[in-house]
Amino acid sequence: MSKRVLCLLFPGFEEIEAIAPIDLLRRAGVEVKVVSLTSDRKVTGRSNVTVQAEATLAEVAANDFDLLLLPGGPGVKNLRGGGRPAQLARAYAQAGKLVGAICAAPLVLADAGLLAGKRFTAHFSAHGELPQALAGEKVVEDGNIITSRGAGTAVDFGLALVRRLCGEEVAQQVAKAIMLG
Prediction pTM value? 0.97
Name the region of 69 (left: φ>0; alpha: ψ -120 to 50; beta: rest).
beta
Q: How many domains does the chain divide into?
A: 1
C-alpha atoms less than 13 angstroms from C-alpha of 76 in its C-beta half-sphere: 25
Residue 170's domain comprises: 4-175
Question: Could you tell me if residue 149 is inside a domain?
Answer: yes
* Mean of pLDDT values over 152-165: 98
- DSSP H or E stretch at residue 109: helix 106-111
* Mean of pLDDT values over 162-172: 98
The catalytic residue positions are 103
pLDDT(16) > 90: yes
Tell me the residue ranges of DSSP E strands in 10-165. 31-36, 42-44, 50-52, 55-56, 67-70, 98-102, 139-142, 145-148
Interval 90-117: pLDDT, tens: 999 999 999 999 999 999 999 999 999 9
Question: Could you tell me if residue 180 is inside a domain?
Answer: no
Question: Which CATH number is 48's domain given?
Answer: 3.40.50.880
Is the dihedral angle over the CA atoms 69, 73, 74, 75 positive or is it negative?
negative
